[in-house]
A and B are shown apart, each in its own frame.
Chain A
Amino acid sequence: MTELTVNGTRHRFDGDPLTPLLWYLRDELALSGTRFGCGAGLCGCCTVHIDGAAARACSVAVGDIDGKVVTTIEGLGGTVLHPLQKAWIQLDVPQCGYCQSGQIMQAAALLAGNPAPTDPDIDDAMSGNICRCGTYPRIRAAIKAVASGSHAGLAPPPGGQLAATAKPVP
């Protein structure tokens, strides 16, 4: 019997203690925002917080986190959007979107421990999270926007400008 708190709700689990947290969240708790990408800790799609630290839910057995507090993307902002989610929206970060729950959870853990990350800090923290669509430039920009507190006033998503006025887009 394992007891754990997920997004503020206590749960008891008496299934196979080796069940990865990912599949407990997805199949039993219907929290499908935490996504499966590799099952081996290699891609970061399944990133959640366990007692506040980023963890790969595919590689953590439920039986090993008795008494711990788990936060998933569904619980990240409570009843409102987390500042990172707002920045993600304002910068139109996602493409297919499949990796983005994991990216946001990883970024949230980064900012919780380091409110003003440098580019190398971002590389260190985020390079375990693959995005096959290549949204990395906007992920970086969104993290920096939140770190600098500028996300609230962000203009519409960055766009390439047309011909004559063409300017590089970060």
Chain B
Amino acid sequence: MSTQPQTLGRRGFAFGISALAGLVAALPPMPSQAAGSTPSPNESKQQHPEVTVWVVIEPDDTTIIRVARSEMGQGSMTALPMLVAEELECDWALVRAEYVLASDNLARGRPWGDMVTAASLAIRASHAYLRKAGAQARTMLIDEAAARWGVGADACVAKNSVVTHIPTGRTLRYGALAQAASARAIPPNVPLKRPQDWQVIGRPLARLDTVEKVTARPIYASDVRLPGMLHAAVAACPARGGRIGHFDAQQVLAMPGVRQVVAVDNNAVAVVAASWWQAKKALDALSIVWDESSADGSAGLELSTEPLARMFRAGLDASDVAIGRRRGDIDAALATAATLVQADYEAPYLAHATMEPQTCTAHVTAQGAQVWAPTQNGEGTLLVVAQTLGIDPSRVVVHKHHLGGGFGRRGLAQDWARQAVLIAREVDAPVKMIWSREEDVRHDLYRPFCVARHTAGFDRAGRLIGWKTRLCGSSISDALARDRLKNGEDHEMMSGFLEEDMVYDVPNIEVGYVMRNTAVPVCFWRGVNHTQNGYFREAFVDEMARARGQDPYLFRRDLLAHSPRSLAVLDEVARRANWGRQHAGVHQGIAIVESYESVCAHVIDLSIDAAGQPTVHRVVCAIDSGYVVNPAIVTAQMQGAVAFGLGAALDGEITLHKGRVQQSNFHDYPVLRMNQMPPVETYLVPSADRYSAKWGGIGEPGVPPIAPALANAVFAATGRPVRSLPLSRHPLAPT
């Protein structure tokens, strides 16, 4: 069997936001759902009239609140409806959440706005219009009741899904009003409640998606079952940049259940069979000769960890620097400094390892395509499918399922959707593609390997007068979102050091980034560039503190003297952690990182046993997310962020040898397990609008401070700074 010509480069399947917006603008109206489609269990079925596009109220008062973003464990499916419910004055016990179909959104001119679920923005970006929609719907329901009674709307109140006429005590249920209310004009301007009047926002309400998750409901894309559906297992060339050399499909076509062997682009082979196991078994039996001659980077760079690291390190001395921030005169400051502190840092490639390996089910027919997808971006998936197949977007339906983990893997990176439809295009049936875990680890798009060099200067009085940072690594935006580049520069690679997210008060600062892109694909990873940069920054702060003979907490306090928001979080975490008052043998590390308009600080209590084995006894977390929609979800997100970030800091590392990723499954890419999970004490210190009118994110801000808190605790224990991760690289002598 010959291989198909490659139709798109590797970058071809990644849409930038502007590309997406352009396509959206050009879209014709489309039918809301293809005939005979099988919706996902949580998809909006639009049974009854809408009271605004966000709310459907059934005659029995059941209140369906639509969700445009995705649920991947971070609680969107609960917290977003809470924002609507706050203003709607509905009975929360009657609320059900449903996904908006991407195709409906496009066909109707995007009344549900953006569907992207990334950058911790589900609440940040949508709280205003969701609260407004709730208030509009409530107004329409009250107006309808008032009209029926022939009274003024201002004599009526709504509460718990009932409108009451105050003077007479008459009542009407929402379910009895909704049909007529939906025909009323949507009032353009409605006042929103003051925060002190909130009844729903700020309560630790139970999640709406828990029961289905503990009772085995088929809610994930990998659970989809369709009539006549076949299953696909996939193997991509193990070496990055390599391609299919040769294979003979005849070798496996007679195996039980096997229907087809499909070449995908020019670099992967799929076996399609009656069950996934049959497909996988045949795939394993198929001798595929890979052509890895092109697996080198374009510059002839060997794609092995050490040459790559050398290249990135060399970037620290390069002159093609993008300057992200410049304050004062750094060169003069460092030239006149009485003391200099300098250190180089490194952070490894990391995989996402979502619990559910990459998967997507697709049915491609002459009429169009349907996919069932775990996507962080329903519209992005839709457009990638349309582009991959070369069909009009109006002929694509994307059924959104809950994600078995996202962490950035399922947003702008839509490689899995592309693969699924390229396979399904060749097959006369719906096909469910599931990657093996090995495929998932080896063909991830990784958090970039990055290096940093810090130089700090102190004057004779011991004051920090200059701090210069150089960063080098591969640009995520260049790979996945080129529209985010500024004149070809990726300033997001300097997150955590920029004006808006490093508030330390230093008179002379310079931060620069040297872009070095390779054939190793890089991607957003929960917390994104704040994670490696938060580590680089906060670990070096401890080095500076030690060089000055100062306590790391007090050293930070000085630098934050003019940043009350960060200072409050730092003080809270130190106070709650009993900073500086630990038992002998227990060492503490502190770190604070501002990200996604939240501020988060952690303190880790750690000991190292005689064998050099570290144990994290406790994590204390303080978080200021501006407002808190659901404190139980915030607390869960902080625990989850600790588990995610701590596991990576302890053991996480993806390495390459000649283009091949050397890890493959949880035995060689370990993640945090129950026996390593420390108790996490979370303190919420929401500042509301005291410092900004913004609502902070929650899914990611807990990750960036955890690695440096760990590094700093180890530094405190051993006296040796931890200048590269994971910690498992470093033999830890007993204390």
B679 contacts A170, C-beta separation under 8 Å: yes
- In the complex, chain B residues whose CB is within 8 Å of the CB of A98: 220, 355-356, 404-405
Q: How far is the CA of A99 from the CA of B216 in the complex (A)?
A: 11
Least Cβ–Cβ distance between A141 and chain B, in angstroms: 11
- In the complex, chain B residues whose CB is within 8 Å of the CB of A115: none
| Residue-wise interface mask of A (84-119) relative to B, using a CB-CB cutoff of 8 A (1 in contact, 0 not) | 010011001111111111001000000000000000
B277 contacts A92, C-beta separation under 8 Å: no
The A-contacting residues of B in range 211-246, CB under 8 angstroms, are 211-220, 222-223, 225, 231
Least Cβ–Cβ distance between A121 and chain B, in angstroms: 11
- In the complex, chain B residues whose CB is within 8 Å of the CB of A156: 204-206, 632
Q: How far is the CA of A60 from the CA of B245 in the complex (A)?
A: 35
Q: Say if the beta carbon of A2 comes within 8 Å of chain B.
A: no
| Residue-wise interface mask of B (182-221) relative to A, using a CB-CB cutoff of 8 A (1 in contact, 0 not) | 0000000000000000000011111101111111111110
The A-contacting residues of B in range 667-703, CB under 8 angstroms, are 667, 671-675, 677, 679-686
Q: Which of B231, B256, B278, B402 contacts A96 (CB 8 A)?
A: B402
Q: Say if the beta carbon of A130 comes within 8 Å of chain B.
A: yes
Q: Which of A33, A126, A134 contacts B644 (CB 8 A)?
A: A134
Least Cβ–Cβ distance between B572 and chain A, in angstroms: 8
Q: Which one of B101-109, B161-169, B365-373, B634-642 is at the interface?
A: B634-642
Q: How far is the CA of A95 from the CA of B444 in the complex (A)?
A: 22
Q: Say if the beta carbon of B342 comes within 8 Å of chain A.
A: no
Among B406, B628, B640, B671, the most chain A Cβ lie within 10 Å of the Cβ of: B640
B437 contacts A38, C-beta separation under 8 Å: yes
Q: Say if the beta carbon of B387 comes within 8 Å of chain A.
A: no
Q: Say if the beta carbon of B427 comes within 8 Å of chain A.
A: no
A35 contacts B356, C-beta separation under 8 Å: yes
Q: Say if the beta carbon of B436 comes within 8 Å of chain A.
A: yes
Q: How far is the CA of A128 from the CA of B675 in the complex (A)?
A: 9
Q: Say if the beta carbon of A168 comes within 8 Å of chain B.
A: yes
Q: Say if the beta carbon of B643 comes within 8 Å of chain A.
A: yes
Q: How far is the CA of A61 from the CA of B641 in the complex (A)?
A: 36
B673 contacts A42, C-beta separation under 8 Å: no
Least Cβ–Cβ distance between B723 and chain A, in angstroms: 26
Among A32, A93, A134, A156, the most chain B Cβ lie within 10 Å of the Cβ of: A134
Q: Which of A31, A40, A127 contacts B673 (CB 8 A)?
A: A127
Query: A89-B211, A157-B204 are known contacts. Are A122 and B674 too (CB-CB below 8 A)?
Result: yes
Query: A23-B275, A101-B216, A104-B214 are known contacts. Are A132 and B666 too (CB-CB below 8 A)?
Result: no
Q: Say if the beta carbon of A52 comes within 8 Å of chain B.
A: no
Least Cβ–Cβ distance between B192 and chain A, in angstroms: 20
Q: Which of A38, A88, A100, A135 contacts B639 (CB 8 A)?
A: A135
B276 contacts A23, C-beta separation under 8 Å: yes
A37 contacts B631, C-beta separation under 8 Å: no
Q: Which of A15, A104, A157, A166 contacts B206 (CB 8 A)?
A: A157
Closest residue to A19 on the B side, CB-wise? B277
Q: How far is the CA of A45 from the CA of B675 in the complex (A)?
A: 17
B684 contacts A81, C-beta separation under 8 Å: no
- In the complex, chain A residues whose CB is within 8 Å of the CB of B686: 162-163
A95 contacts B222, C-beta separation under 8 Å: no
B275 contacts A136, C-beta separation under 8 Å: no
Q: Which of B72, B213, B643 contacts A136 (CB 8 A)?
A: B643
Q: How far is the CA of A26 from the CA of B276 in the complex (A)?
A: 9
Size category of the binding interface on chain A? 35 or more
B632 contacts A37, C-beta separation under 8 Å: no
Q: How far is the CA of A42 from the CA of B673 in the complex (A)?
A: 11
Closest residue to B223 on the A side, CB-wise? A32
The B-contacting residues of A in range 156-170, CB under 8 angstroms, are 156-163, 166, 168-170
- In the complex, chain B residues whose CB is within 8 Å of the CB of A34: 216
Query: A131-B643, A168-B683 are known contacts. Are A100 and B632 too (CB-CB below 8 A)?
Result: no
Least Cβ–Cβ distance between A105 and chain B, in angstroms: 10
Q: Say if the beta carbon of B655 comes within 8 Å of chain A.
A: no
Q: Say if the beta carbon of B357 comes within 8 Å of chain A.
A: yes
- In the complex, chain B residues whose CB is within 8 Å of the CB of A38: 437, 665-666
Q: Say if the beta carbon of A68 comes within 8 Å of chain B.
A: no
Q: Say if the beta carbon of B38 comes within 8 Å of chain A.
A: no
B683 contacts A166, C-beta separation under 8 Å: yes
| Residue-wise interface mask of B (329-351) relative to A, using a CB-CB cutoff of 8 A (1 in contact, 0 not) | 00000000000000000000000
Q: Say if the beta carbon of A73 comes within 8 Å of chain B.
A: yes
Least Cβ–Cβ distance between B632 and chain A, in angstroms: 4
A123 contacts B675, C-beta separation under 8 Å: yes
Least Cβ–Cβ distance between A64 and chain B, in angstroms: 15
Among B214, B223, B275, B677, the most chain A Cβ lie within 10 Å of the Cβ of: B214
Q: Say if the beta carbon of B175 comes within 8 Å of chain A.
A: no
The A-contacting residues of B in range 373-427, CB under 8 angstroms, are 402-407
Q: How far is the CA of A60 from the CA of B630 in the complex (A)?
A: 42
Closest residue to A101 on the B side, CB-wise? B216
Q: How far is the CA of A140 from the CA of B634 in the complex (A)?
A: 19
- In the complex, chain A residues whose CB is within 8 Å of the CB of B212: 97
Q: How far is the CA of A55 from the CA of B74 in the complex (A)?
A: 29
Q: How far is the CA of A81 from the CA of B215 in the complex (A)?
A: 8
Query: A127-B673, A130-B355, A134-B677 are known contacts. Are A161 and B636 too (CB-CB below 8 A)?
Result: no
- In the complex, chain A residues whose CB is within 8 Å of the CB of B685: 163, 166
Least Cβ–Cβ distance between B72 and chain A, in angstroms: 5
Query: A134-B644, A140-B674, A168-B681 are known contacts. Are A94 and B214 too (CB-CB below 8 A)?
Result: yes
A157 contacts B355, C-beta separation under 8 Å: no
B680 contacts A27, C-beta separation under 8 Å: no
A159 contacts B204, C-beta separation under 8 Å: yes
The B-contacting residues of A in range 137-159, CB under 8 angstroms, are 137-140, 156-159
B636 contacts A135, C-beta separation under 8 Å: yes
Q: How far is the CA of A43 from the CA of B630 in the complex (A)?
A: 30
Least Cβ–Cβ distance between B481 and chain A, in angstroms: 24
B225 contacts A93, C-beta separation under 8 Å: no
Q: Which of A30, A122, A137 contacts B225 (CB 8 A)?
A: A30
Closest residue to A45 on the B side, CB-wise? B355
Query: A20-B277, A88-B210 are known contacts. Are A162 and B643 too (CB-CB below 8 A)?
Result: no
Q: How far is the CA of A97 from the CA of B405 in the complex (A)?
A: 8
A33 contacts B635, C-beta separation under 8 Å: no
- In the complex, chain A residues whose CB is within 8 Å of the CB of B631: 159-162
Q: Say if the beta carbon of B354 comes within 8 Å of chain A.
A: yes
- In the complex, chain B residues whose CB is within 8 Å of the CB of A127: 673-675
Least Cβ–Cβ distance between B564 and chain A, in angstroms: 15
Least Cβ–Cβ distance between B70 and chain A, in angstroms: 10
The B-contacting residues of A in range 63-80, CB under 8 angstroms, are 72-74
Q: How far is the CA of A126 from the CA of B218 in the complex (A)?
A: 24
- In the complex, chain A residues whose CB is within 8 Å of the CB of B71: 96
Q: Say if the beta carbon of B434 comes within 8 Å of chain A.
A: yes
A96 contacts B216, C-beta separation under 8 Å: no
* B contact set with A: CB distance below 8 Å: 71-75, 202-207, 209-220, 222-223, 225, 231, 256, 274-278, 281, 353-357, 402-407, 434, 436-437, 572, 576, 620, 628, 630-632, 634-636, 638-644, 665-667, 671-675, 677, 679-686
15 of the cross-chain contacts (CB-CB < 8 Å) are: A19-B277, A26-B276, A30-B225, A36-B357, A39-B437, A40-B667, A43-B355, A81-B215, A92-B206, A100-B213, A127-B674, A135-B639, A136-B643, A160-B684, A162-B686
**A-B complex: 4 closest residue pairs judged by Cβ atoms:** A33-B216, A159-B204, A134-B643, A97-B213
- Not counting A122-B674, A168-B620, a sample of 8 additional A-B residue pairs whose C-beta atoms are within 8 angstroms of each other reads A38-B665, A92-B206, A94-B214, A99-B355, A130-B671, A156-B205, A156-B206, A163-B686
